[in-house]
Amino acid sequence: MTKLVRRFLFVLLLLVALVLAGIAASWAPDKPAAELAAKWATPPSQFIELQGMQVHLRDEGPRDDPLPIVLLHGTSASLHTWEGWASALRGNRRVIRVDLPGFALTGPHPKDDYSTAAYVSFVRALADKLNVQRFVLAGNSLGGQIAWSTAAAMPDRVARLILVDASGYPMELLVGQVIPLGFKLAAIPWLQPVVRNSLPRSVVETSVRNVYGDPSKVTPQLVDVYYDMALREGNRRALSLRLAQGYTADTRRLAQLRMPTLILWGGKDKLIPREAAQWFARDIAGSKLVMFDELGHVPHEEDAQRTVQEVVKFLSAPAAGS
């Protein structure tokens, strides 16, 4: 064996050793749902059987509220993202927040269906299960896309609509888009055997910091929530399927919406830039747009107090024609 071959083999073995060491250091197998529920599903959390899933939700506030508020989170988030809004609203309003299929403690959809139509069907089934006939529907990012799609499909039941940095327009139209690192890794097919068994906490932290206007607001406790929700059994596979199924919906249906609509947006959103906020305001007749210049993609979480003030004003304003 020549000296050159020996040197090549040494370098190759060294690289393999480094890769294996990196995988070992970031090794993070799935965590059982029951284990995570003991930590993150304390009262007032509950689980209900719906569409073949045990769905995690929190249903708080007065039972006699004629228009409960339903809150839908975005990709890789959870109902915990709405804690600030729920705290501010539940004294006077019934607030229902839920972990969507594919994420957090609800976990994967039994049919691996993460289409917009499947999510609309889920929201309808949830409202039926909770005996909520008419409601206010709010959503962030993917949750916003589900919210406006549900409003278009169920205009007789969605009384008011709140969109927070919502998705739905073709991604190729969004100039300046910055995809969080965790989403990039989950979207690479050949990486899936590794991604589904290893997850450096730093990847999750980087991804969360990416969606904040002020990354210094991201605390270790906040990262803990996102990290544990990502590790729930089956969620990493579900994320790769969700990303593969895309984020574009039929935005022509926005012109059909007639319910009062509030659009909240973070001016420093790097994932769905502020141009999209203008498109929603243009395409939804009579809608109101409020821009928070210093906030990012999750303004309801980054500054719950300021954003929920706009929600309170919106909910107390009379609907046109009333």
Locus of tokens 């299929």: 101
Cα gap 212→303, rounded to integer Å:
10
Share of the chain above pLDDT 70, in %: 82
* Residue 9 in this model has a pLDDT that exceeds 70: no
Flag the least confident range among 98-102, 263-267, 316-320: 316-320
Write the pLDDT tens digit of every residue in 107-124: 999 999 999 999 999 999
Instruction: Give the CA distances from residue 6 to residues 9, 15, 16, 20, 188, in Å, rounded to whole numbers and listed in that order.
Output: 5, 14, 15, 21, 34
Locus of tokens 């050949």: 190
Cα gap 317→48, rounded to integer Å:
33
Beta-carbon count within 10 A of 115 CB: 13
Considering the four listed CATH numbers 3.40.50.2300, 3.90.550.10, 3.40.50.1820, 1.10.1240.10, the one that applies to the domain covering 33-316 is 3.40.50.1820
What pLDDT is attached to residue 154?
A: 98
Q: How far apart are the first and last CA of the chain?
A: 89
Structure tokens at 7: 């040197």
* Residue 322 in this model has a pLDDT that exceeds 60: no
* Residue 38 in this model has a pLDDT that exceeds 80: yes
What pLDDT is attached to residue 172?
A: 67
pTM, two decimals, is 0.87
Average pLDDT for residues 289-302, to the nearest whole number?
98
Contact between 69 and 136 under an 8 Å Cβ cutoff? The reply is yes
What pLDDT is attached to residue 170?
A: 86
Write the pLDDT tens digit of every residue in 153-199: 999 999 999 999 999 998 766 656 666 655 555 556 655 565 556 68
Alpha-helical regions (H) of the chain: 3-25, 33-40, 83-89, 116-129, 142-153, 181-186, 192-195, 201-210, 220-231, 235-244, 275-283, 299-302, 304-316
Spell out the domain ranges in the chain. 33-316
* Residue 57 in this model has a pLDDT that exceeds 80: yes
